[in-house]
Amino acid sequence: MRENQLDISIYFMRRIAQAAAAETLPRFRAQGAVANKEQGSFDPVTEADREAERAIRALISAEYPDHGILGEEHGSENISSRHVWVIDPIDGTRAFISGLPVWGTLVGLTVDGDAVAGMMAQPFTGELFYANGSGSHYEG
């Protein structure tokens, strides 16, 4: 493993996926408010997006307090850190609000600007895709 990499365990990625699912699944196919983030086009955001990102941020901040976070819904914090997490709590929000099960949670980690770990969780199907310096993994 290179010096600038951090060993991110599958256990931690599972915890992130579970925290996001706890916020998204109860809101999937349920009536909920949809807001538009962008003038002149349609870029939807839901309570599920916001709460899933909040839950993911809480886990990262507790486990890695010195790391930065760049999130789609709640912006950035400490992004001058060597380690920056990138969060898209619901990739496929349009599918999510339409009741289509083709959405997921994306989380990645960069170290000094290089991608070193990432995961894609699909809570509705129970699938988890994960990669780090030790290889790639699939569960589901």
**What is the predicted pLDDT for the residue at 31?**
84
**What is the predicted pLDDT for the residue at 1?**
37
For residues 4 and 114, which has the higher predicted lDDT (pLDDT)?
Answer: 114
Q: Are 116 and 6 in contact (CB under 8 A)?
A: yes
pTM of the model: 0.90
Q: Where are the beta strands (DSSP E) in 22-126?
A: 34-36, 44-46, 68-71, 75-77, 83-91, 104-111, 114-122
For residue 135, pLDDT beyond 90: no
For residue 3, pLDDT beyond 70: no
pLDDT tens digit sequence for 48-84 = 999 999 999 999 999 999 999 999 999 899 999 999 9
Q: What is the DSSP letter of 26?
A: G
| SS3 call for 99 | coil
Crossing angle (nearest 10°) for helices 10-24 and 47-63 = 150
**What is the predicted pLDDT for the residue at 44?**
87
Topology adopted by domain 10-139: Fructose-1,6-Bisphosphatase; Chain A, domain 1 (3.30.540)
In 3D, which of 47, 46, 68, 45 has the Cα closest to residue 57?
Answer: 68
* Per-domain boundaries in the chain: 10-139
For residue 32, pLDDT beyond 90: no
